[in-house]
């Protein structure tokens, strides 16, 4: 018993759990963009960094409440998401992948060269406001919100765009508008995640938000299953815990991610849990039970 309690209060484990939750929120955002709407983004980490620096600077210079800083961090990321999304989605074809890739590098360079962000030396002294309870409350809230979104007229429109844009358009869906809204929501979550990260690590460095971080988050989403919320949670958990506890995974991380991505794309393009719809399984099970009951009723 004591061993269990000390596990739960061990600061190292708590820190790992918090980080995992922070990445889960970012991954859930990318899930909405890539898994649900079908738009590839290779610069998700840039939106994390925008949320991180915005909220950290607010904490440091304005002293505004943490919850407000979180919110503004998310909104600032979403604002840049919209600014980048408009030209990217206006062009026909998958331009978002290219523009987000470029955007990611630009943001990094800008943060390295700005004075207020501490430049390449990083930004320290951020108050530690994030804890495991805050993180997982937001994870639960995000999952709940995404679940509701996906099972609504709005979410179905995003799915329709992923499945077949021409057909979606012919059903009365404005693809530009919906892609933009999906992207704004996804980048908002990235911004919130970055803000939590800033107030957990208490130190930010632009190098932490480069392409490899974006690629890592994309891996979280792809491994578990594109388009699946449980898959995203699973993928993030496995891929954040493995390098913590397995030394060789830590050392060859990028290599493993690359290999994993290729393997998944070939053998299970929809991820470990992709294509498995728990809601549908449940509804089927209920329908079966009901028909069995009806049969019994008829016989009896």
Partner 1 sequence: MSALLELKGMTIHFGGLIAVDNFDFQLEKGQVVALIGPNGAGKSTVFNVISGIYPPTAGKVFFNGEDITNMKPYHIKTRGIARTFQNIHLFKKLSVLDNVRIGCHCRGRTGVLGALTRLPGVKAEEKVILEKSLEVLEIVGLANKQEETANNLAYGEQRRLEIARALAAEPLLLLLDEPAAGMNPNEKKNLMEMLKRIRAMGITIMLVEHDMKFVMSISDRVDVLNYGQKIASGTPAEVQNDPLVITAYLGSQTG
Q: Rounded distance, CA 228 to CA 32, Å?
A: 9
Q: Does 196 interact with partner 1 (rule: CB under 8 A)?
A: no
| Region near partner 1 per CB under 8 A, out of 8-16, 21-29, 95-103, 167-175 | 167-175
DSSP states of 237-266 as a string?
A: HHHHHHHHH-HHHHHTHHHHHHHHHHHHHH
Q: Does 221 interact with partner 1 (rule: CB under 8 A)?
A: no
Binding mask 245-284 for partner 1 (x = CB under 8 A): ------------------------------x----x--xx
List Cα–Cα distances, 200 to 111, 130, 135, in angstroms: 19, 5, 10
Q: Which residues contact 95 (CB under 8 A, 6 or more apart)?
A: 88, 89
Q: Does 286 interact with partner 1 (rule: CB under 8 A)?
A: no
Q: Rounded distance, CA 53 to CA 238, Å?
A: 27
| Region near partner 1 per CB under 8 A, out of 57-65, 131-139, 164-172, 195-203 | 164-172
| Region near partner 1 per CB under 8 A, out of 16-24, 40-48, 95-103, 149-157 | 149-157
List Cα–Cα distances, 278 to 26, 147, 157, 230, 234, in angstroms: 23, 12, 21, 9, 14
Q: Which of 157, 198, 221, 256 binds partner 1 (CB under 8 A)?
A: 157
In the structure encoding, which two tokens stand for residue 128, read together?
């530690």
Q: How far is the CB of 90 from partner 1 (least distance, A)?
A: 13
Q: Does 40 interact with partner 1 (rule: CB under 8 A)?
A: no
Q: Which of 32, 56, 168, 196 binds partner 1 (CB under 8 A)?
A: 168
Identity of the residue, 156 or 268, whose beta carbon is nearer to partner 1 in the bound complex:
156
| Region near partner 1 per CB under 8 A, out of 20-28, 70-78, 92-100, 169-177 | 169-177
Report whether 212 contacts 48 (CB < 8 A).
no
Tokens 């995640």: give the residue. Answer: 193
Binding site for partner 1 (CB under 8 A): 145, 148-149, 151-157, 159-160, 163-164, 166-175, 181, 185, 275, 280, 283-284, 287
């Amino acid at each position: 018993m004591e061993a269990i309690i000390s596990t739960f209060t061990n600061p190292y484990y708590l820190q790992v759990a918090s980080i995992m939750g922070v990445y889960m929120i970012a991954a859930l955002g990318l899930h909405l963009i890539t898994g649900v709407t079908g738009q590839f983004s290779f610069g998700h980490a840039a939106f994390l960094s925008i949320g991180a620096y915005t909220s950290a600077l607010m904490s440091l210079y304005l002293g505004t409440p943490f919850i407000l800083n979180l919110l503004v961090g998310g909104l600032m990321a979403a604002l840049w998401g919209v600014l980048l999304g408009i030209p990217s989605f206006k062009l026909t074809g998958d331009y978002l992948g290219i523009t987000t890739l470029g955007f990611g590098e630009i943001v990094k360079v800008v943060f390295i060269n700005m004075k207020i962000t501490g430049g390449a030396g990083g930004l320290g002294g951020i108050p530690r406001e994030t804890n495991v309870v805050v993180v997982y409350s937001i994870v639960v809230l995000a999952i709940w919100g995404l679940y509701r979104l996906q099972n609504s007229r709005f979410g179905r429109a995003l799915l329709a765009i992923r499945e077949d844009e021409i057909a979606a358009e012919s059903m009365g869906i404005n693809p530009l508008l919906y892609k933009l809204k999906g992207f704004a929501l996804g980048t908002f979550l990235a911004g919130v995640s970055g803000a939590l990260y800033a107030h957990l690590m208490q130190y930010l460095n632009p190098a932490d938000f480069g392409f490899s971080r974006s690629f890592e988050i994309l891996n979280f989403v792809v491994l578990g299953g594109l388009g699946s919320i449980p898959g995203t949670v699973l993928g993030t958990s496995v891929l954040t815990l493995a390098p913590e506890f397995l030394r060789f995974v830590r050392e060859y991380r990028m290599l493993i991610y690359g290999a994993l991505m290729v393997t998944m794309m070939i053998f299970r393009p929809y991820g470990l849990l992709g294509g498995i719809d728990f809601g549908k399984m449940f509804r089927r099970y209920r329908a079966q039970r009901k028909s069995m009951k009806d049969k019994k009723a008829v016989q009896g």
